[in-house]
Structure 1
Amino acid sequence: MKTVLSHQGYIEKVLDKFGMSKAKPMSTQLANHFKLSLEWCPKTDREIEDLAKVPSRHHWETVKWIFRYSKVLLGMELFWAISNPLVVGYVNSDYVGDLDDERSITGYVCTLGGRPICWKSTVQSIVALSTTEAKHMAVAEAAKEAYGLMGYQRNLVLCKVEFSCTMTVKVQFI
């Protein structure tokens, strides 16, 4: 099985829509003279609406640069030659990994045919009371991602989804 991921059609469509099809490609994502800041971002719905209706020259120049950079990406593709289209998930957690707020850290990687296709590492939203609870929350988070991947895979090819979690629990008495 071969899987190819390309955004060429989408990029071409967007460039056509904004009249940038014949623009010169730009090899850098964004030049140093573009100063973007969260402070300058619109905060309220009203500000967002106003900016969407009449963007500033600075914003339009930034978007044009990004369009020109996207032209460099036109021929780029991600390619997988997969002999076994099996989705496998690997999960782990670090109990109380974030020392500032005593929350555990969840991490997972999902692979297709042995190649990573999605991953995430994040602080858990609630405080786990044990390593086992932290692991269970990590598995639940990864299972949601695996469920979404199963739907995606049904559109590509019939395949099996395998999900495993190894849990090592150490008990120490003080």
Structure 2
Amino acid sequence: GFLDEEIYMEQPEGFVDPDHPRKSHSEAHWTAAKNILKYLRRTKDMFMVYGGNSDAELQVKCYCNAGFETDIDDMKSQTGYIFTLNGGAVVWKSSKQSTTAQHAAEAEYIATAEAAKEAVWIRKFVDELGVVPSNNYPIEMNCDNTTAISMAK
């Protein structure tokens, strides 16, 4: 049939693309969106496993280091650390230390202490996720300064 009058429709607020206000989504877009939702519904019980064994414990390791007096203007040292989860990097940081270390071992100790704080946060985060049955594993901390290691013990 035919319409006796013109009809004007406007997109509801929030559904307009500000970069392309006159563009409307096609049936293909709607079909793709429905397929994505169907896929998510079918795969809601699936998950990614690092290391290939869903029964294995998560293995978190930390590697930390410090650069002594790396900033020539204020003589501050640099902290750097990286955490790996079953071999894949998940957390890393490199920043200037807030205090001035008197020697390299102190700079390393400060870096290790900052990394240890992050390790506590990671442990709590993994526990709250509930992705492993038990979380009694130690987080391995690797530091390359023997004086800083003996200070930590």
- The bucket for the TM-score relative to the shorter chain is 0.5 to 0.7
**Residue 162, structure 1, aligned to residue 130, structure 2:** no
Instruction: Give RMSD over aligned pairs.
Output: 2.7
Equivalent residue number for residue 99 of structure 2: 126
Q: Greater CA radius of gyration, 1 or 2?
A: 2
Q: Which runs of 5+ in 1 are unaligned?
A: 1-18, 27-73, 170-174
Q: How many Å apart are 1:147 and its aligned residue?
A: 0.4
Q: How many Å apart are 1:168 and its aligned residue?
A: 5.7
Which has more strand, going by share of residues? 1
Please give the TM-score of this superposition, normalised by the length of structure 2: 0.57
Which has more helix, going by share of residues? 1
Deviation by residue 1:7-36 (Cα, 9 ceiling, x = unmatched): xxxxxxxxxxxx64x35498xxxxxxxxxx
Equivalent residue number for residue 71 of structure 2: 98
Q: How many Å apart are 1:80 and its aligned residue?
A: 5.3
Change (3 A) 1:121 1:24: same
Q: How far apart, in 2, do the equivalents of 1:25 and 1:112 lie?
A: 41
Q: How many Å apart are 1:99 and its aligned residue?
A: 1.2
Deviation by residue 1:66-121 (Cα, 9 ceiling, x = unmatched): xxxxxxxx99xxx8531251111110000001111100000000111111111111
Change (3 A) 1:87 1:25: farther
Please give the TM-score of this superposition, normalised by the length of structure 1: 0.51
How many pairs align? 100
